[in-house]
Amino acid sequence: MSVDGWNTVLVLGGIRSGKSEFAESLVADAPAVRYLATATDTGADDEEWAARLAAHRARRPESWSTEETAGDPRRLADVITAAEPHETLLVDDLGGWVTVLLDPAHQPADDTATIAELADAVRSCPARLVVVSPEVGLSLVPTTPLGRAFADALGATNRAVADAADAVVLVVAGQPTWLKPTPTARPGIVPAQGGPAGTAPAAEPQALPEVLTPTVPPTTAVPDDDGRTPWSAPTMALPMVATGLVIQPGMELPMPDEYAGPQAVDRLATLDLPGAGFGVLDRVVGFAGGTQGTPTPAPWDTVRVLLVHGDHRGGAAAGTVPGDSARRARAARAGRGALARLAAEAGASLQVVDAPAARPIEVEPALTPDEVESALRHGWRLAEQAADAGVRLLVLGACGAGTDAAAAAVLAATAGAEPPAVLGRVLNDSGEYDDAAWMVRCAAVRDALHRSRHSPRGAKDILAELGGGDVAVATGVLLGATARRLPVLLDGPVGVAAGLVSRDLAGQARHWCLLADHGRHPAVMLAADVLGLTPLLDLRLDLGEGANALVALPLLRSVLGLAAALPTHPALGGPDEPTDEPDFREPDPAGPGPTTTDEPDFREPEPAGPGPTTTDPEPAPLDPSGRRAG
C-alpha cells in the first residue's frame, strides 16, 4: 500500500469525486485491512444515506474488518495510535468524524485539542494508514451557522492531518493529483497522477542504454580473438523520457480495441484463399487488430528487442558459471550471439538493459523499496522511448544467473505454484543436467517463501522480496508499453513473471502481451495459463529468452502481411479477375557486393543467363516411334 515510500496518506475530494474508491485502491494489495467507519448510521431516518453506507460496505472485500468509531470522537485517535506496524488502516471519512465531534451530545468540548490529538496520532502512526476526507474549501460559504461551523472544523482538521501525513492527494472527477510532497521536497521522486497522464519531470533520471541496430556481417569482416565475426552495431541517440509517475495498484491504462480484434478475425473468412484458412494463427491477426485498432492490421514493420540483464545471487544461481550472463550481454551489445543474429535477420533494433543485481532471496529481500521504484520507472521510460521512436512491437528478453528461480518464486507468491513444479532442470556449461544444482535452487525458493511469509503480497512487495531487478524492469516495460498502446511479444520466465506482477498493478497490461511459444518451460506454461495467454506455436525452442520469439517473428509477420493483402473472395463480392497491379513486387537484384577471397557461409544461386553460344547443330526431331530421326 505504501505509496512511493510514504506510510500515511490523506485522500481529499469533493462529493462523488471518487476519493473513496481511490483510497481503497491504495490498500488493495494488503492482505487484511481495518476499515474505520466514522459516519453515524441513521437507520430508517434517512434511507438515501443508509443506501450510501450499504454501498460502501458491499464494496469492501471479505478479508477486511470494519470498526465503528462514531460513538466517541476521541476513539479514532486511540485506534490509530494503538495500531501495530504490520497493520493497514483505512479511515473513511473525516467528514463523518467532524459531524460526530460537533454533535451536541459531545459538547461542550475543546474541539481544537481533539483535532490536534488526531493529527498527532496520524503523525506517529506505526501502521500503514490512508485517511479519506471531503474537501470543503472550494465551495460557497454555508448560509447557516451550523454549516459554517462544520466547514470551519473540517477545514481545520484537513489542514492538521495534511501537515501530519506523509502524502496528500486530491481526487477530482476520479483523477488523482498528488499535492504533497512537492517535487523539491524529495529529490528524484515526483508524485504525479496515478495514470499515464502524469508528466512532471523527475530529477536526473537514470540514463537509458543505447539502441543497437545489428546487421548481417559482410563476408569481408575480420574474425575477433575468439574466431567470431563481429557485426556492425551503429547506435541511435533518442531523447530521454521522464514520466514522474507514481506506479501503484489500480492504475487505469488503455485496453486494446474490443471491436477491431474480432472484426479482423471475422474478415479472414472472407479472403480469397484456396484452403481452410490460417488455423490457430488467426489469433495473431485478432491480437494485431485489437492493438492497432483496425480490422486490417499491418505487419509490425519496426521492432525493438529489449534484453534485460540482471543476476540473482545466492542459491537461485546454483549451477551457473560466474560471469556467463555478463559475457552474453556484452556479446549482444557487440552484435554477436544468437539474439543479435536473429534481430539482424528480422531487421529489429536491440537494446541491452542492465538491471540491479538481486540479493540472495533465501536470507534477505532481493531489492529495497527504492530500488523497486527506480527499476519500475526505468522500465516504463524504456517503453516510452521505444514508442517515441516509432517502434510497433517490443520483444522482451532476459539473461541472467538465477532468473528461473526468481520467476518460480514470483509464480509461487502470485499464483500459488509449487516451486519444484515450475523450476526447469539446470543445464550446465557441459550440456549435462545438474540435478544437485536444481535442488539447491528449489531450497533457495522454499527458504525465500518461508522468510517472507508474513510480508504483504502486493506487487511491489513481491518484487522487493522475491523478484529482483530484472523482473522489476520488465514489469515497468509492460506497464509503460500498455500506457503507450505498444504490444509486447513475451518469451521466457522473466517475461511471464513480469506479466503476473504487472497484472496486479494494472489489469490491462496482459491484454497487450502475446506469447509465441512456451518452449515447454514449466514456469512459462503455468504463467501463460494464469494470464490467459495461449501460445501460438509449440516448437520447443530453447535458444535463450527473446531469441525464441525472434524465430517465430517472421512467421507472424507473414500471416499479417497475407491477411492484409489478400482480396475478398469473388463469391463474397471480391474481384473476379486479378488486377493489373501484382500483390507483390520482386526485389531488385543485388549489387556486385564486396570482393573477397574468403568462401561465404552460403552462396546465392547465380541468375540464369542466355546460355552458351555453340556451333553444335540443333537436335533432330523425334519420329512417331519416339526415336530421333537420323
Query: b/e for 194-226, b at 16 or more Cβ within 10 A?
Result: bbbebeeebeebeebbebbbbbebeeeeeeeee
Whole-number Å distance between alpha carbons of 476 and 485: 14
CA 399 to chain centre: 18
> Grid coordinates standing for 452?
517472507
CA dihedral 478, 253, 458, 11 (to 10 degrees): 140
Kindly report the backbone phi and psi dihedral angles of residue 556, in degrees, each rounded to the nearest multiple of 5, phi listed first: -65, -40
Instruction: Name the strands in the sheet holding 167-172, side by side, starting at the edge strand that comes first in the sequence.
Output: 65-68, 34-37, 88-92, 128-134, 8-13, 167-172, 175-180
Sign of CA dihedral 489, 494, 500, 502: negative
Whole-number Å distance between alpha carbons of 615 and 86: 99
CA 36 to chain centre: 33
Other C-beta atoms closer than 10 Å to the C-beta of 354 total 17
> Grid coordinates standing for 524?
512459462
Strands, E assignment, 105-208: 128-134, 167-172, 175-180
C-alpha closest to that of 530 among 556, 553, 507: 507
Whole-number Å distance between alpha carbons of 357 and 334: 22
Find the catalytic residue in 545, 581, 599, 618.
545
DSSP 238-304: -----------TT-------TTHHHHHHHHHTTB--SSS--GGGHHHHHHHHHHHTSSSPPP--SEE
Element counts in the chain: helices (H) and strands (E): 19, 13
CA dihedral 496, 500, 501, 502 (to 10 degrees): 90
Locus of grid cell 490529538: 117
Bridge pairing between strands 488-490 and 513-515: parallel
> Grid coordinates standing for 47?
434511507
First to last CA, the chain: 99
C-alpha closest to that of 377 among 202, 123, 223: 202
Total count of residues recorded for the chain: 630
Do residues 17 and 146 make contact, with C-beta atoms less than 8 angstroms apart?
no
The question of whether 545 is a catalytic residue gets the answer yes
CA 135 to chain centre: 34
DSSP 477-519: HHHHHHHTT--EEE-SHHHHHHHHHHHHH-TTGGGGEEESB-T
Do residues 11 and 22 make contact, with C-beta atoms less than 8 angstroms apart?
yes
Beta bridge partners of 395: 305, 489
List, by residue number, the catalytic residues: 545
